Structure 1
């Protein structure tokens, strides 16, 4: 069951993508939790066939989980993460075009529009005359895990499977279980769930014997992986999220240093891109400076970003200098380690994803604090993040802010959950007059509250876009533009109508850019963070 802000934005997304009946069913599931089919019909007050059609649509697009309950039979639950990811679909198609060309973008867009499809259905919709280009691109997308098979297990909530597997592991324990045995049962259940997911992803490929048709005394038979035409495929969001994360890391390196450091950072990420599976990884696989130097795109930018003793330094020398800079090798303190992008020791290079993600979350929190409380608020926030729990007098002294200004500032920041307060009683009676009050930053709580505010902002942006489109003057011009004769020749529109359309497109474009920026902050706080 989602909170009110998350439920509102999910309902708004489903309304714009699937219509009012489907959004009505989704709203009930979001506000009431998992329900059975009769309960959905009763609460929605819709016809059973309408509710059934809405359920089929949501299941087809991987937004709905269904599980079997002992009390109520089959129950349904909405997958909010899947619904919120639909805001990035446009970026997914753009990334597919960048890496796989027009054919890859067409396949990804078709799968995003239909939820899941079999390879023959994909080919029939994209290549009516038959083309080998789309078939080869689909093969690349499947083998590189940008497209993954959709099995029956993917429609069951992972939480339900984990609970069931833990119960099975606990049943194997004889007597009263110890804490160690319970931990081992949880680890065994998680390992079993991970193994099932890996096996499901490998189900999309099958082995095919290809025998050479050339007449020869030696006939060689080779096994090759081909796409299974009987399996339904869907888009693997994790692979595209990895590209979004890597782009954010590259931009962070450019803002911290220069373009040369960003180029080296991009090459270091590309060196281990095939081994990166999810955005939740702590660090990347190992690479070498020599391997990174072979993936550089612009060596001139490297030379212009550093001042070395030699006039014509080698590329590997430049790369090692940049890697030392990104690793903060000249600052071996905890502060330097927390500011690093990579770990560079000996010949091994690792990209520290967890450290970078923590820094990106902190920067997003500081940006919101600066906007609402100015530089003094950012100074207090950084002080509490670095020092831990501090009382009001120490905050005033260390942050160099007058005591009369610290108290209202702390109260205002606490009201917005940017900081929290810890009560430490001096005596057992917990008298408020005999207590220490310590201020600190509860980072998960602050990020969670900020994330809910961002969901509210996304909902308001979508409502504003819908209101702009449904305005009477705009709606009349849009309906006229959809006419067949006007669509072929927009010169049939009057000058005022063309100006009205231009102003409307400008407003929609600004709202779309704003939505993309807000969604990027959501990606940093949710996908790169620990907020559920």
Structure 2
């Protein structure tokens, strides 16, 4: 893991889980697998605090542990999952788009808690939905269970692998082994849920133990059917959805809405049966695609065949032919699509940073592979001086490479070919690190803005709390207006500026993360090809 990735992981851990968890997690990311005593001594943190931090990290899947051959437990950080914290808002928004408010809250609760049992998640989501309803109605547990089952059927949530540990007398426990089978990871247990969400009451704080004792009774869950089965977010499935949406958007921009709808249908038919690292989707016949098109999408079979032929003959090669049976078999070339999207991002970055002429040279090198400087000048139709300057600019930031091919062993410049080329994989890795650095800078800037206005934010929160309590007791409008006037006009303007700046920084993080996802997918698909 590079220094930039470590810095970003530390910022994300501190922002979401606090200083102590950040200290322990960053140490494990930096040093690798370590036993408890080393973590305690090196981080300068008490044993109890380290244990609690490790529990939090293990609960959220950010740290794993295994038994060392000498008999002690070693803890190691999952650095990739630490960086995935940046993508949590996109996970929640995707669930809201596909499954509404209920799906959004299910995913949010699983992300907040790391892992939860089915009944605990349903009860919590139903209570939260009930609290937001203004007409006094309550949400049935069965409604939330139906949405949870849909998330499991489409593999957006999955069971946590159960850990089997055995102990022998006089011997330390062996390393935990994961025993959950792949086919069982998406099966929702049959539970009887009778009840509905409850609103929070002021008297609940005084009941404490009584509430916890009757929780199971209120939920109406049959005992023993949900014990020991925990659920978590399937990040791989969310990433697959992000990839599919990027491919659909690219087809829509390149061709038209009908083509993108056909590609969307093909991807939807293969979303569960195709593995995340597969190069192609399952082969589909034109008849199968025709039957799977949305009901309200009126398109003739002959027109569909014409669109499929156009997609298969397009230079992008997003859609490929796999056979002629059943009116023709078609697949989505996933690796080719991701590579095209990544290269389009590289070209866009070159154009934004160096101008349209540099982008023309960059596209020329991508197409021709290797060119001499004179050839670049001729093909790009750019004067020699400007072409030379542009090539050196891109060479200085490693977007372009220069290869020497000598005619003679003495490497004399007059008898050597100097060929310019583009290595997309190397450029993608370099730009990925810059994207990580950009996100880290955005987070630090947002934290600075919040810290500089901490006093004003605390004042605003206190006034909002006072107004909310007075509204609950039926205070008059004049009293509420008097409380609101405690924030002066300059302070209100300062709060609006802060809110606008923070929103811009948050939006920038999400946009940069979209580029990060494309570049990461391209690098991973290239690795999968090579293996």
Answer yes or no: same fold by TM over 0.5.
Answer: yes
TM-fit CA distance, 1:433? 6.9
Counterpart check, 1:282 vs 2:279 = yes
TM-fit CA distance, 1:119? 2.1
The correspondence for 1:477, drawn from 457, 478, 485, is 457
TM-fit CA distance, 1:105? 2.1
RMSD after superposition? 3.2
Counterpart check, 1:511 vs 2:496 = no
> For the Cα contact (< 8 Å) 1:120–1:229, is it kept in 2?
no
Q: Pairwise mapping of residues 520-531 of structure 1 onto structure 2 (< 5 A)?
A: 520-530=514-524
Residue matched to 2:317: 340
Aligned in 2, Cα 1:299/1:397: closer, same or farther, shift over 3 Å?
A: farther
Residue matched to 1:252: 250
Aligned in 2, Cα 1:198/1:417: closer, same or farther, shift over 3 Å?
A: farther
Paired with 1:523 and 1:387, the residues of 2 have a C-alpha distance of 27
Paired with 1:433 and 1:524, the residues of 2 have a C-alpha distance of 42
Paired with 2:112 and 2:191, the residues of 1 have a C-alpha distance of 34
Residue matched to 1:151: 161
Q: Once the two structures are superposed, what CA deviation does each residue of 1:416-441 show, in whole Å capped at 9, x if it has no partner?
A: 12122223344445567754332221
Q: Pairwise mapping of residues 351-362 of structure 1 onto structure 2 (< 5 A)?
A: 351-362=332-343
Aligned in 2, Cα 1:127/1:208: closer, same or farther, shift over 3 Å?
A: closer
Paired with 1:257 and 1:284, the residues of 2 have a C-alpha distance of 21
Counterpart check, 1:202 vs 2:184 = yes
Paired with 2:309 and 2:124, the residues of 1 have a C-alpha distance of 51
Paired with 2:425 and 2:117, the residues of 1 have a C-alpha distance of 41
Q: Once the two structures are superposed, what CA deviation does each residue of 1:2-36 show, in whole Å capped at 9, x if it has no partner?
A: 11111111111111101111112222233333333
Q: Which runs of 5+ in 2 are unaligned?
A: 128-137, 165-176, 193-223, 472-479
Residue matched to 2:433: 452
TM-fit CA distance, 1:133? 2.0
Residue matched to 2:309: 324
Counterpart check, 1:231 vs 2:212 = no
Residue matched to 1:305: none
Residue matched to 1:465: 446
Paired with 2:35 and 2:404, the residues of 1 have a C-alpha distance of 45
Aligned in 2, Cα 1:145/1:392: closer, same or farther, shift over 3 Å?
A: same
Aligned in 2, Cα 1:415/1:35: closer, same or farther, shift over 3 Å?
A: farther
Paired with 1:275 and 1:516, the residues of 2 have a C-alpha distance of 29
Aligned in 2, Cα 1:461/1:197: closer, same or farther, shift over 3 Å?
A: farther
> For the Cα contact (< 8 Å) 1:289–1:320, is it kept in 2?
yes
The correspondence for 2:290, drawn from 293, 318, 324, is 293
Paired with 1:41 and 1:97, the residues of 2 have a C-alpha distance of 41
Residue matched to 2:150: 140
TM-fit CA distance, 1:357? 0.7
> For the Cα contact (< 8 Å) 2:117–2:231, is it kept in 1?
yes
Residue matched to 1:10: 9
Paired with 1:529 and 1:296, the residues of 2 have a C-alpha distance of 33
> For the Cα contact (< 8 Å) 1:142–1:227, is it kept in 2?
no
The more displaced of 132-141 and 373-382 is 132-141
Paired with 1:205 and 1:502, the residues of 2 have a C-alpha distance of 47
> For the Cα contact (< 8 Å) 2:160–2:185, is it kept in 1?
no
> For the Cα contact (< 8 Å) 1:65–1:76, is it kept in 2?
yes
TM-fit CA distance, 1:525? 0.5
Residue matched to 2:44: 45
> For the Cα contact (< 8 Å) 1:469–1:475, is it kept in 2?
no
TM-score of the superposed pair, with normalisation by structure 1: 0.77
Paired with 1:427 and 1:33, the residues of 2 have a C-alpha distance of 49
Residue matched to 2:401: 420
The more displaced of 359-368 and 43-52 is 43-52
Residue matched to 1:183: none
Q: Once the two structures are superposed, what CA deviation does each residue of 1:197-254 show, in whole Å capped at 9, x if it has no partner?
A: 98256256488799xxxxxxxxxxxxxxx98542221110122222211211111111
Residue matched to 1:64: 63
The correspondence for 2:418, drawn from 437, 451, 458, is 437
SS in 2 for 1:46: coil
Aligned in 2, Cα 1:295/1:468: closer, same or farther, shift over 3 Å?
A: farther
Residue matched to 2:76: 77
**Number of matched residues?**
454
The correspondence for 2:349, drawn from 368, 371, 392, is 368
Paired with 2:416 and 2:66, the residues of 1 have a C-alpha distance of 50
SS in 2 for 1:234: strand
The more displaced of 485-494 and 131-140 is 485-494
> For the Cα contact (< 8 Å) 1:239–1:277, is it kept in 2?
no
SS in 2 for 1:275: coil
The more displaced of 80-89 and 359-368 is 80-89
Paired with 2:301 and 2:155, the residues of 1 have a C-alpha distance of 32
Q: Once the two structures are superposed, what CA deviation does each residue of 1:254-300 show, in whole Å capped at 9, x if it has no partner?
A: 1111222222222222232332341x221111223343334445967
Paired with 2:117 and 2:27, the residues of 1 have a C-alpha distance of 31
Paired with 1:431 and 1:42, the residues of 2 have a C-alpha distance of 59
